[in-house]
Amino acid sequence: MTKETYVVDMSRGPNVKLRPVPVGAVRIRGGFWRERMTAGVAGVHTALGKLEKSGALDNFRIAAGRKKGTFRGPCFMDSDVYKWLDAASMTLMTERNPALEAQMNEAIEIIAEAQEKDGYLNTYCQLGAYGPRWRDIRSAHEFYCAGHLFQAAVAHCRATGSESLLNVACRFADYLCETFHEGGTACAPGHPEVEMALVELYRQTGRKRYLALARFLIDCRGTDRSQCKRDLYCQDHLPVREQTHAIGHAVRDMYLRCGMTDVYAEEKDENLMAALRTVWKDMVHRRTYIHGALGSRYAGEAFGDPYELPNLRAYAESCAQIGGTMWSWRMLAIEAEARYADLMETQLYNSILSGVSLDGERYFYQNPLESIRDRERQEWLGCACCPTNLMRTIASVPGYLASTSDEGVFVHLYADAQIDWHLASGKPLELDIATDYPWSGDVEIVLGEHTAGTFGLFLRIPGWCRSAAVTVNGKQIEEASRSGGYLRLVRDWRPGDRVGLSLKMPVEVVQANPRLREAFGCVALKRGPIVYCFEEPDNPGVELPDLRLPLRPEAPGEGFEPAFRADLLGGVTVLEGKGRVPERPDGDRPLYAAFRAEEEAWKPVRVCAIPYYAWANRGPAHMKVWLPWVAVT
Amino acid sequence: MTKETYVVDMSRGPNVKLRPVPVGAVRIRGGFWRERMTAGVAGVHTALGKLEKSGALDNFRIAAGRKKGTFRGPCFMDSDVYKWLDAASMTLMTERNPALEAQMNEAIEIIAEAQEKDGYLNTYCQLGAYGPRWRDIRSAHEFYCAGHLFQAAVAHCRATGSESLLNVACRFADYLCETFHEGGTACAPGHPEVEMALVELYRQTGRKRYLALARFLIDCRGTDRSQCKRDLYCQDHLPVREQTHAIGHAVRDMYLRCGMTDVYAEEKDENLMAALRTVWKDMVHRRTYIHGALGSRYAGEAFGDPYELPNLRAYAESCAQIGGTMWSWRMLAIEAEARYADLMETQLYNSILSGVSLDGERYFYQNPLESIRDRERQEWLGCACCPTNLMRTIASVPGYLASTSDEGVFVHLYADAQIDWHLASGKPLELDIATDYPWSGDVEIVLGEHTAGTFGLFLRIPGWCRSAAVTVNGKQIEEASRSGGYLRLVRDWRPGDRVGLSLKMPVEVVQANPRLREAFGCVALKRGPIVYCFEEPDNPGVELPDLRLPLRPEAPGEGFEPAFRADLLGGVTVLEGKGRVPERPDGDRPLYAAFRAEEEAWKPVRVCAIPYYAWANRGPAHMKVWLPWVAVT
């Protein structure tokens, strides 16, 4: 295995401040992410059977002439196979797995056979389920599937060194270059994805034509050359440099921003970057759920109006927050600002992880903030974009932990891990990171035996943290400087140097902007990066839809105590405290009535909150994140 | 004109307590509804041009062989023409109009020519835009269009005495009877409508086969014979007698309940009626907006979960609350319970009337409870179900004012009107009703010169009214009995007897059930049947999204004073009072933050609320119905 198993290889982009540390250079030894990754690998293994059942692999077999039949599934069905290969490749970056590799090679063989002589590859079109190629660039997902092929091919090559899938990808990419940009045909794909994939294919192969095509497709967007009918849904309403809001279909929006950021990383274009900063701020300040989810509307799977963030009817598609993390990772590399890692952390620990069951085998498409016993994860989905996306995201977590820069090393996310890489100078970089994060805010970093010299160690102080202390070799550092949200420790480091970071992690009671209507008069509980929810199994006898949290306004968090429960949901820290419910259930009252002051007859109840990501692992149940509060003295 | 211009002729249904008073027997002389009806007639006149522009009439011309061309519009386009004829007929019930009748006759002539020899009539199918007849009973709206044809035909015959359209309807209805029920073919139409129309056609013609087909279609629903795939969206998930919730597409749900109620009215079936009562209660207690609107979800134009009633994203389709009023009118006739009239009144004065501009020329499909300058009524709609539905509903208001029973006469809605009809006994009934309702709660009813004898006068005491007083010939009646929400005055009446009803109409501050998330911590203002909103033009300089209402919990309504403004919006009573906005706008604050007690720095502002129905007549503007309140002493 090549060690340069980048998730996104921004290591040479001229406009990039932070260079990635590859997945293969990071060993997550234990703790939180080790368990999630193990479950993820289990999911990758069983997914192949699900792809067979859905017909996704058969579509390729039929196109390859190995089998008779007709196309099955939605128009983007090919991408399920590509994304599975992508996810499987990512898991190989951490650990080789000959059985899995054999399965992958067989799939790649079928895919290669299905490819047309001129490089075109899309079984939906090839099997006649659609019409001529490129008949409907807005809806038919040919570019989208191509993008996922390219990403899978790059990941497969990086993980295994094999070019079997990369050759398929390049043949198709060459065909695309010749047909569109170089061939004089303009368009903007209805579902962005190919743009970032083309840039990555350029990074892997060095072929500039792929980067040029990516830029061309981005430049066509929102112009008369796009064929997307100036449609908001596809972010085609305006040229990309004039766009100011996260808008339309949320996954499309996020994938488009990834492609734009990737193009910027490789070719300076300040108007592009200015638009990206504006959209990112709009998204985070007005259209992001507390658990990091994006895209609140069922209609059009879309970003809503500002502050339109319903709880029960949250769409909050797993793929949207995955797209958000992919985009923020790119922004982080360019700007070295911790706010991007803050969003990634919120998404990874909460609304991404909630997309998959604790055993790694069942998936959520939507990730609402409330349930009325109406939700269960599914083994697979008719529109199966999320499962494989979740798999590849969880497998890529090691690649998100750290970066290097000209000044030293940045640690973004804290996990129990060993990093064995090098600084930009080429000098060895070995970090041993020990932590029980996210259940504890204490992190110890020990420098390896070959790690020495003057460089900066940049430790992210998470946005949620209001008090952090740092020691070097046991000595408190009083005046460590900060840079873009990172604590900056520059010194002449010696092997065995120990850095202790202590992030104070009290229970936080959070309130939303009053304009966020469904959280008005409510609070949510957080501790560290973890967003909590109240779920029925932990609160027997409590009518959750009616639950209020009594708070002392001067000390709102004091009523809740964290407790680690090794036996619960794979081991989680719960929050235990007091609640109250009305003597007369809300459901027995009229829908509308003359105003009167607050209900006075309350029943006190004991309540217990669990991490949001772990909900819905015990059957359908009531669940709530935001709860009304009542003042007590 | 025949005087028996019933909107729905339940005058002979064996299971009906209340018999309708026809539109032609009620003259709305002046006041609120006179103005709304005048605007409605203006809309009927200009609609013909809009139907020409949309291609709806041309579709018939092409099917009739008068013109060449292809089908235009959605599959249910024919219904636009039928509903226009229905609405136009309803206006003729109040006032003949030769120019309009000539236009109608021309349309009817084209329709008749377009009809196939065997009675089938649906230009979408006839013009080849679809495939063979009945290929897709779930989606293609053939039955739906047939239903609107039948309703238009009955209304046209009642209004004019002409059977020209009735003959077309009966030919098609006979074909349907022969093809489906009698022909042994089972189905349930995807969009209910034909069921109630068939019952009405039976009532008009006396042909029992139409009633039998209606019952058959209702009985097929939710069974394996339905072809609707057991789909919630079409209320096909369960047999109708087992259904307990308002569910799925809201207009379909309401139209289905109308058909069920009509069948019950004619043929006793207590299981049917029990299901209807259960669904109605579920709807009113958990799924109805404060302004009476129904169906909160954009996705599927559907009823939401219990208490799922968002403000900005309210779907609240005009046709859904029209369907709700149509259904409640039927339930009222059967049960003589004022709660049904309460819902009708709420809908008519608020979320139905809001569907049309004050000049009668522009229409809303959705009727949200909040706007961020993103809404304007449209001259016509691509899916133009609402405009003609609004026209026919407003034109039918005179028919909803009163009913007779074996005991006497019921007055449901108060308007400045003369009623000239007869009691069930056949004795003359002349009532002269003078009122400035809904701006005043004072009503005077004077008995006409031929009205005498012992009978009951039942006056509805609206659900909103907490204090009512009644006089007869100036003398206070202390102990008038109540029956189903009606004040019951039985005596030996004499011509010229004067009954005075005084409904106390203070400003009411309303709060919602705490489970209604988007109204949590908020109040809305009502006065009488009118729901108020705050709109930007009446509140210059006030940032409406941030507005709070300061209330004294012991006397919440005292801060708002009603004032009639003849110059405003056609003459409305506004509510004037105090509000406050935060010194620092909510929009400048973060999306999420650590909890702290309520903002203390407020700016006091003067605010003015207008009737909800009158909003959006002055261009796009901020608008809100529910506002957060803050306690003051």
**What pLDDT, in 10s, does the model give residues A402-454?**
999 999 999 999 999 999 999 999 999 999 999 999 999 999 999 999 999 99
- The amino acid present at A178, given as its one-letter code, is E
Whole-number CA gyration radius for chain B: 25
State which H helix or E strand residue A594 sits in: strand A592-594
**What pLDDT, in 10s, does the model give residues A493-506?**
999 999 999 999 99
Considering only CB atoms, which chain A residues are within 8 Å of B627?
none
- Cβ contacts of B37 within 8 Å, gap of 6 or more: B28, B91, B94, B394, B395, B397
Q: What's the CA gap between B124 and B71, in Å, rounded?
A: 6
- The amino acid present at A153, given as its one-letter code, is A
Nearest CA to A332 out of A426, A255, A401, A248 is that of A401
A385 as an active site residue: the answer is yes
Is the pLDDT score of A130 beyond 90? no
- Cβ contacts of A242 within 8 Å, gap of 6 or more: A222, A275
Q: How many CB atoms lie within 10 A of CB A418?
A: 16
Is the pLDDT score of A108 beyond 50? yes
Q: Best mutation site among A290, A547, A592, A632 for testing chain B: the one with the most B CBs within 10 Å?
A: A592
CB contact under 8 A, A594 and B521: no
- State the burial class of residue B132 (Cβ atoms within 10 Å of its Cβ: 0-12, 13-18, 19+): exposed
Can you spell out the DSSP letters for A525-544? EEETTEEEEEEGGGSTT--G
- Cβ contacts of B102 within 8 Å, gap of 6 or more: none
Tell me how many helices (H) and strands (E) chain B has: 14, 24
Query: Is the CB of residue B17 less than 8 Å from the CB of residue B35?
Result: no
pLDDT attached to residue A481: 83
Q: How far is A287 from chain B (nearest CA, A)?
A: 9
Q: Best mutation site among A522, A580, A591, A623 for testing chain B: the one with the most B CBs within 10 Å?
A: A591
The nearest alpha carbon in chain B to A521 belongs to B521
The sheet with strand A408-411 has its strands ordered as A19-20, A402-405, A408-411, A453-460, A486-493, A481-483
State which H helix or E strand residue B410 sits in: strand B408-411
Q: Across all residues in chain A, what is the average pLDDT?
A: 96
Can you spell out the DSSP letters for A423-485? -TTS-EEEEEEEE-TTT--EEEEEE-TT--EEEEEEEE--TT-S-EEEEETTEE-S--EEETT
State which H helix or E strand residue A103 sits in: helix A98-114
Q: Best mutation site among B281, B342, B544, B595 for testing chain A: the one with the most A CBs within 10 Å?
A: B595
| Local structure of B60: helix, strand or coil | helix
Whole-number CA gyration radius for chain A: 25
Distance of alpha carbon B85 from the chain centroid: 18
Q: What's the CA gap between A228 and A136, in Å, rounded?
A: 9
Distance of alpha carbon B456 from the chain centroid: 28
Q: What's the CA gap between A254 and A201, in Å, rounded?
A: 19
Interface confidence: ipTM more than 0.90: yes
- The amino acid present at A151, given as its one-letter code, is Q
Q: What's the CA gap between B151 and B123, in Å, rounded?
A: 18
**What pLDDT, in 10s, does the model give residues B492-551?**
999 999 999 999 999 999 999 999 999 999 999 999 999 999 999 999 999 999 999 999
Confidence of residue A482 (pLDDT cuts 50, 70, 90): confident
- Cβ contacts of B205 within 8 Å, gap of 6 or more: B166, B170
Q: What's the CA gap between B285 and B94, in Å, rounded?
A: 35
Query: Is the CB of residue B344 less than 8 Å from the CB of residue B598?
Result: no
Average pLDDT over residues A7-13: 95
CB contact under 8 A, A591 and B288: yes
B480 Rama sector, left if φ>0, alpha if ψ -120 to 50, beta otherwise: beta
State which H helix or E strand residue A327 sits in: helix A318-335
Q: How many CB atoms lie within 10 A of CB B242?
A: 11
Distance of alpha carbon A8 from the chain centroid: 13
The CATH class that applies to domain B404-503 reads mainly beta
Q: How far is A263 from chain B (nearest CA, A)?
A: 30
CB contact under 8 A, B521 and A518: no
pLDDT attached to residue A66: 97
CB contact under 8 A, B520 and A521: yes
Nearest CA to A263 out of A321, A205, A201, A325 is that of A201
**What pLDDT, in 10s, does the model give residues A232-270?**
999 999 999 999 999 999 999 999 999 999 999 999 999
Nearest CA to A195 out of A255, A126, A246 is that of A255
Nearest CA to A343 out of A371, A319, A357, A323 is that of A323
CB contact under 8 A, B628 and A520: yes
Q: Of A307, A554, A590, which is closest to B513 when you measure between CB atoms? A: A590
| Sequence-ordered alpha helix ranges (H) in B31-76 | 31-54, 56-63
Query: Is the CB of residue B547 less than 8 Å from the CB of residue B607?
Result: yes
Q: What's the CA gap between A106 and A391, in Å, rounded?
A: 20
pLDDT attached to residue B598: 65
Q: What's the CA gap between B306 and A545, in Å, rounded?
A: 11
Q: How many CB atoms lie within 10 A of CB A475?
A: 10
**What pLDDT, in 10s, does the model give residues A571-593?**
999 999 999 999 999 999 999 99
Q: Of B306, B545, B593, which is closest to A515 when you measure between CB atoms? A: B545
Catalytic residues of B: 301, 385
Dihedral sign for Cα B159, B163, B164, B165, please. positive
- Level-2 CATH architecture, domain B19-400: Alpha/alpha barrel (1.50)
CB contact under 8 A, B305 and A312: yes
The sheet with strand A442-447 has its strands ordered as A26-28, A417-422, A428-435, A442-447, A498-503, A468-472, A475-476
CB contact under 8 A, A508 and B594: yes
Token digits of residue A418: 């060993």
Angle, CA B431 vertex, CA B427 and CA B435 arms, to 5°? 165
CB contact under 8 A, A586 and B515: yes
pLDDT attached to residue A2: 47
State which H helix or E strand residue B147 sits in: helix B142-160
Q: What is the pTM of this model?
A: 0.95
Nearest CA to A180 out of A145, A210, A141 is that of A210
| Percentage with pLDDT > 70 across chain A | 99
Token digits of residue A478: 């009083």
Q: What are phi and psi of A262, to 5 degrees?
A: -65, -40
Average pLDDT over residues B248-252: 98
- Active-site choice (A301, A370, A508, A535): A301
Is the pLDDT score of A599 beyond 70? no
Nearest CA to B83 out of B381, B390, B361 is that of B390
| Sequence-ordered alpha helix ranges (H) in B231-372 | 250-266, 270-286, 318-335, 338-346
Angle between helices A318-335 and A385-395 (to 10 degrees): 40
pLDDT attached to residue B471: 97
**What pLDDT, in 10s, does the model give residues B130-153?**
889 999 999 999 999 999 999 999
pLDDT attached to residue A1: 42
**Chains A & B: contacts with CB separation below 8 Å:** 139
CB contact under 8 A, A596 and B298: no
**What pLDDT, in 10s, does the model give residues B296-338?**
999 999 999 999 999 999 999 999 999 999 999 999 999 999 9
Token digits of residue A611: 């991490």
Is the pLDDT score of A227 beyond 90? no
**What pLDDT, in 10s, does the model give residues A47-96?**
999 999 999 999 999 999 999 999 999 999 999 999 999 999 999 999 99
Query: Is the CB of residue A598 less than 8 Å from the CB of residue A630?
Result: yes
Q: Residue written as tokens 């070799």?
A: A473
Confidence of residue B1 (pLDDT cuts 50, 70, 90): very low
Q: How far is A288 from chain B (nearest CA, A)?
A: 8
Average pLDDT over residues B106-115: 98
Nearest CA to B195 out of B161, B230, B144, B159 is that of B144
| Local structure of B403: helix, strand or coil | strand
Query: Is the CB of residue A22 less than 8 Å from the CB of residue A93?
Result: yes
Q: What is the DSSP letter of B115?
A: S
| Percentage with pLDDT > 70 across chain B | 99
**What pLDDT, in 10s, does the model give residues B15-64?**
999 999 999 999 999 999 999 999 999 999 999 999 999 999 999 999 99
**What pLDDT, in 10s, does the model give residues B184-242?**
999 999 999 999 999 999 999 999 999 999 999 999 999 988 888 889 999 999 999 99
Can you spell out the DSSP letters for B333-370? HHH--HHHHHHHHHIIIIIIGGGB-TTS--B-S---SE
| Local structure of A49: helix, strand or coil | helix
The residue ranges of every structural domain in chain B are: 19-400, 404-503, 507-631
Is the pLDDT score of B2 beyond 60? no
Q: How many CB atoms lie within 10 A of CB B600?
A: 7
Is the pLDDT score of A302 beyond 80? yes
Average pLDDT over residues B118-128: 97
Nearest CA to B293 out of B224, B355, B231, B209 is that of B355
| Sequence-ordered alpha helix ranges (H) in A336-439 | 338-346, 385-395
pLDDT attached to residue B484: 82
The nearest alpha carbon in chain B to A592 belongs to B512
| Local structure of A196: helix, strand or coil | helix
Is the pLDDT score of A27 beyond 70? yes
Is the pLDDT score of A129 beyond 90? no
**What pLDDT, in 10s, does the model give residues B432-487?**
999 999 999 999 999 999 999 999 999 999 999 999 999 999 999 987 788 889 99
Nearest CA to A388 out of A152, A69, A143 is that of A152
| Local structure of B627: helix, strand or coil | strand
Q: How far is B275 from chain A (nearest CA, A)?
A: 20
Nearest CA to A78 out of A89, A64, A67 is that of A64
Q: Across all residues in chain B, what is the average pLDDT?
A: 96
| Local structure of B468: helix, strand or coil | strand
